Amino acid sequence: MNKREIAIHVPVLARVEGEGALDLHISGDRIDHLHLRIFEPPRLFEKFLEGRSFRDVPDMVARICGICPVAYQMSAAHAIEQAFGMDPGPWVRDMRRLFYCGEWLESHALHVHLLAAPDFLGFPTAIAMAQKFPEEVRRGLQLQELGNAIVRLLGGRSVHPVGARIGGFSHAPSPEAAADLLARLEAVVPDAEALVHWVASLPMPDDVQAFTCVSLRHPQEYPMNEGRLVSNHGLDMDIRSYRERFSEFHVPHSTSLHSTLDGKPYLVGPLARLNLNMDRLPPAVAKNLAATGIRFPSSNMFHSALARAVEIHLALLEAIRILENYRPAQPHIAPTPRAGVGYGCTEAPRGFLWHRFEMDGQGRVVNTEIVPPTAQNQARIEEDLRRSLLAFGLDQPEEALRLRAETVIRNYDPCISCSTHFLRLNLERQ
Amino acid sequence: MKPLVLGVGSPFAADRVGWCAVEALQLRLGDALAFECCDRPGAHLLSLLRGRPCVAIIDALLGVTAGSLHVLQPSDLARDAGTAVHGFGVADALGLAEALGDLPPRLVLIGIGVGAGEVLPEVDWDALAAQLTNLLA
């Protein structure tokens, strides 16, 4: 019997956003202790929002995340508009989907090329990888930059955009600006198709697990801004019923809340979305994915990276479709505040982002709840780490265990600052 | 093409000093240079550098005497993938640009000390303008 005892401490997890750590204690062939420690201080946005006008909310919630501000703005806008009983109409709906395409493009391209791919190709950093794979990295940066350009078109700037408001957008882009961006997007469609095949060819671990996937599902389209919450285990609920089945709770080692569905961990994000919405892919995206030979739904957690590449292709084609039909219009409708409660749930790049806003009759926030995707994935990450390391073999060298653990965590593209409501590995082996 | 002066930072507290530097330099050196402010650009910095013959980047230096001016080399910057926005800061972006052969032929890095980073420091903008003029001459 293996009597080796080791303790691995990763005090700073690289290539993730925010601050957290992993503590791992192994005794022989058993994991005694595995904690994803999140010590970044709580950010208290829910309390900051109380008493603020609906007009302030989009700019405030955008500050929760530098990578996915659009998601926060969209979930909040939908929730407040529901509370006010307003529908901004089809033009705003299309522009919000375009806005979201930009965020998926920039966030996914960043993660695939700069954060995840070095793990699969055996490089310590994206910089080291770029010396061997310069064209692939350039392609990724170009796709990311086009995502930023879409966000700038509607949001005025790519980081913490300011163009979104309750009821729509502050301005309608000019036809010339939309046409210029459309031409740039059309030029890179072959790059997005090639990216899917490149990611499918990366040497990923074959780590098949059983897990519960949860995402939005829409009757006609791949989900971004709207839909019902569904799972691969029969869940199918209105977003307003979220609290009936989902629970959030504190654990001693994390400032981020853990989440469960019916008491069990679950996965949100691109793999969950793709597994649950394969039949909503545009035909060109489905055909390109099928040509890789990799089948979805997939139980290999590392296929999250491929799911991101597929969603890059999808977001690009969706953005092109919307821009081909673009006509400027009145960019917003004026809100009429009324007291009430509203719910918003949209698909951030890392998974669904659920908001509940209670508003008063003057349009001020009475209270709010914000449930970000990385917090929802935390319990699943710990579950995945335990299973992955056991499958990898606890008798592996300490450095190999550390790298595998970090690879598993980075595969989720955790956004720790958002979740604080998150990494440094501390491994003890005895 | 005019040399580009890039102020890197964010809108709040001491991290705004790169943006303030751009505002002050525009007043003093306006016509000779192009200016841009960027909010924690991450990998977007590469697209701002690409094709430019000469770029000066001005950013805050945490833990250094407030208001002091420092001419830096890319190798002076610590690549700290654990703390920058999504693990990718200015040093990482410059490292990636170098690996891809996309660094401008002339790159000037100026750091402005911001102490503990809580408040915007007092800076001698005339001295900064004179230093930048000399570096770009």
- pLDDT value for A14: 60
Tell me the β-bridge partners of A37.
A21
Is B86–A110 a contact, with Cβ atoms under 8 angstroms apart?
yes
CA distances from A266 to A37, A227, A239, A246, A333 (A): 19, 18, 16, 10, 37
Nearest Cα to Cα of residue B93 among A405, A110, A185, A380: A110
- pLDDT value for A426: 47
Task: Yes or no: say if B33 and A131 are a contact pair by the CB < 8 Å rule.
Answer: no
Q: What percent of chain A has pLDDT over 70?
A: 93
- Of the candidates B42, B83, B100, the beta carbon closest to that of A138 is on B100
Residue A415: CB atoms within 10 A of its CB come to 28
Is B92–A127 a contact, with Cβ atoms under 8 angstroms apart?
yes
- pLDDT value for B84: 44
pLDDT of A172 above 70:
yes
CA-based nearest distance A219→chain B, Å: 34
Is B83–A19 a contact, with Cβ atoms under 8 angstroms apart?
yes
Which residues have CB under 8 Å from B98's CB, separation 6+?
A: A127, B74
Chain B contact for A425 (CB, 8 A cutoff): no
pLDDT of A421 above 50:
no
Is B42–A134 a contact, with Cβ atoms under 8 angstroms apart?
no
- pLDDT value for A231: 98
B44 or B23: which leads in pLDDT: B23
Q: What percent of chain A has pLDDT over 90?
A: 75
Is B46–A131 a contact, with Cβ atoms under 8 angstroms apart?
no
Which residues have CB under 8 Å from A189's CB, separation 6+?
A: A316, A317, A320
Is B86–A126 a contact, with Cβ atoms under 8 angstroms apart?
no
Torsion angle defined by CA atoms of residues A403, A406, A412 and A415, in that order, rounded to the nearest 10 degrees: -150
Is B81–A14 a contact, with Cβ atoms under 8 angstroms apart?
yes
Chain B contact for A284 (CB, 8 A cutoff): no
A418 or A186: which leads in pLDDT: A186
Instruction: Give the tens place of pLDDT for each residue, A235-248.
Output: 999 999 999 999 98
pLDDT of A427 above 50:
no
Q: How far apart are alpha carbons A299 and A293 in whole angstroms? A: 15
Q: What is the mean pLDDT of residues A122-126?
A: 89
Tell me the β-bridge partners of A427.
A7, A24
Torsion angle defined by CA atoms of residues A156, A159, A51 and A47, in that order, rounded to the nearest 10 degrees: 170
- pLDDT value for A257: 81
Residue of B nearest to A128 (CA): B99
CA-based nearest distance B51→chain A, Å: 14
Residue to test with chain B: of A137, A159, A409, most B Cβ within 10 A:
A159
Q: How far apart are alpha carbons A397 and A417 in whole angstroms? A: 31
Q: What do you get for the CA distance between the two ends of chain B, in Å?
A: 15
DSSP string, A349-360: TTEEEEEEEEE-
Helical pair A175-187 and A304-324, crossing angle rounded to 10 deg: 140
Which spans in A156-269 are helix H?
A: 175-187, 189-200, 242-245
Q: What is the mean pLDDT of residues A300-308?
A: 97
- Of the candidates B40, B86, B99, the beta carbon closest to that of A131 is on B99
Residue of A nearest to B11 (CA): A160
pLDDT confidence bin for A18, thresholds 50/70/90: low
pLDDT of A53 above 70:
yes
Is A19–B82 a contact, with Cβ atoms under 8 angstroms apart?
yes
CA-based nearest distance A12→chain B, Å: 6
Q: How far apart are alpha carbons A303 and B26 in whole angstroms? A: 49
pLDDT of A194 above 80:
yes
Q: What do you get for the CA distance between the two ends of chain A, in Å?
A: 13
pLDDT confidence bin for A422, thresholds 50/70/90: very low
Q: How far apart are alpha carbons B47 and A396 in whole angstroms? A: 42
pLDDT of A208 above 80:
yes
pLDDT confidence bin for A417, thresholds 50/70/90: low
pLDDT of A75 above 60:
yes
Q: How far apart are alpha carbons A196 and A174 in whole angstroms? A: 32
Cis peptide before A223 (omega within 30 of 0): no
Nearest Cα to Cα of residue A240 among A351, A348, A358: A358
Q: Which of residues 14-73 of A touch B (CB under 8 A)?
A: 14-17, 19, 66-67
Q: What is the mean pLDDT of residues A289-318?
A: 97
Task: Yes or no: say if A384 and A220 are a contact pair by the CB < 8 Å rule.
Answer: no
Instruction: Give the tens place of pLDDT for each residue, B36-93.
Output: 998 878 888 998 999 999 999 999 988 889 999 999 887 777 655 433 445 577 888 8
Task: Yes or no: say if A93 and A225 are a contact pair by the CB < 8 Å rule.
Answer: yes
pLDDT of A38 above 80:
no
Residue A403: CB atoms within 10 A of its CB come to 18
Give me A403's structure tokens. 């790298």
Ramachandran quadrant class, A390 (left: phi over 0; alpha: psi -120 to 50; beta: rest): alpha
- The helix/strand/coil state of B78 is coil
Residue to test with chain B: of A113, A127, A135, most B Cβ within 10 A:
A127
- The helix/strand/coil state of A390 is helix
- The helix/strand/coil state of A405 is helix
Between chain A and chain B, the number of residue pairs with CB atoms below 8 A apart is 70
Burial zone of A395 (CB within 10 Å; 0-12 exposed, 13-18 middle, 19+ buried): exposed
Q: What is the pTM of this model?
A: 0.90
CA-based nearest distance B127→chain A, Å: 31
- pLDDT value for A428: 58
- The helix/strand/coil state of A111 is helix
pLDDT confidence bin for A402, thresholds 50/70/90: confident
Residues of A in contact with B41 (CB under 8 A): 159
Q: What is the mean pLDDT of residues A374-401?
A: 92
pLDDT of A223 above 60:
yes
- pLDDT value for A258: 85
- Main-chain dihedrals φ then ψ at residue A20, nearest 5 degrees: -160, 180
Residues of A in contact with B44 (CB under 8 A): 144-145, 148, 158
Range name among A145-154, A361-370, B8-17 with the lowest pLDDT average: B8-17
Is A144–B43 a contact, with Cβ atoms under 8 angstroms apart?
yes
Instruction: Give the tens place of pLDDT for each residue, B91-126.
Output: 888 999 999 999 999 999 999 999 888 889 999 999
- pLDDT value for A329: 97
Q: How far apart are alpha carbons B8 and A88 in whole angstroms? A: 36
Find how far residue A210's CA is from the centre of its chain. Answer: 21
Q: What is the mean pLDDT of chain A?
A: 91
pLDDT confidence bin for A430, thresholds 50/70/90: low
- Main-chain dihedrals φ then ψ at residue B9, nearest 5 degrees: 165, -150
- pLDDT value for A96: 98
